[in-house]
Amino acid sequence: MRILKSFILVIFFLTLLLGCNPFAEMREARQAAERASQETKMIMENVKKFAERAEVAAQKAEAAAQRAEKAAAQSENFSKKAEAASQKTVKTFEKRLKK
């Protein structure tokens, strides 16, 4: 009877160890952590790429705004020159009419 109880106890411990293998669970946990780490790295790389693209787009937008400001200033300058030329032409025409 004692041998039977020992045998049953040994079988119970073996099934317990096989049923909840701590080594396999640790390995699975480590693999899951590695996968999560890789996914996190991939997400961080994607965020970094997006930030770089956004920075480049912001630089391009700033350059376009500067070009627009420069074009507006040149247009204003041209408008002033055209107005001055028009006034000069009117004065010249008035002088010729007086003669």
What per-residue confidence (pLDDT) applies to 98?
75
* Alpha-carbon distances, residue 15 vs 21, 22, 27 (angstroms): 10, 13, 20
Cα dihedral 28, 32, 34, 37, rounded to 10, equals -170
pLDDT digits (tens, 9 = 90+) for 7-54: 888 888 777 767 777 777 889 999 999 999 999 999 999 999 999 999
Residue carrying the six token digits 């590695």 = 34
What per-residue confidence (pLDDT) applies to 9?
84
pLDDT digits (tens, 9 = 90+) for 53-82: 999 999 999 999 999 999 999 999 899 988
Q: What is the pTM of this model?
A: 0.52
What per-residue confidence (pLDDT) applies to 4?
80
What per-residue confidence (pLDDT) applies to 25?
80
Domain boundary assignment for the chain: 20-98
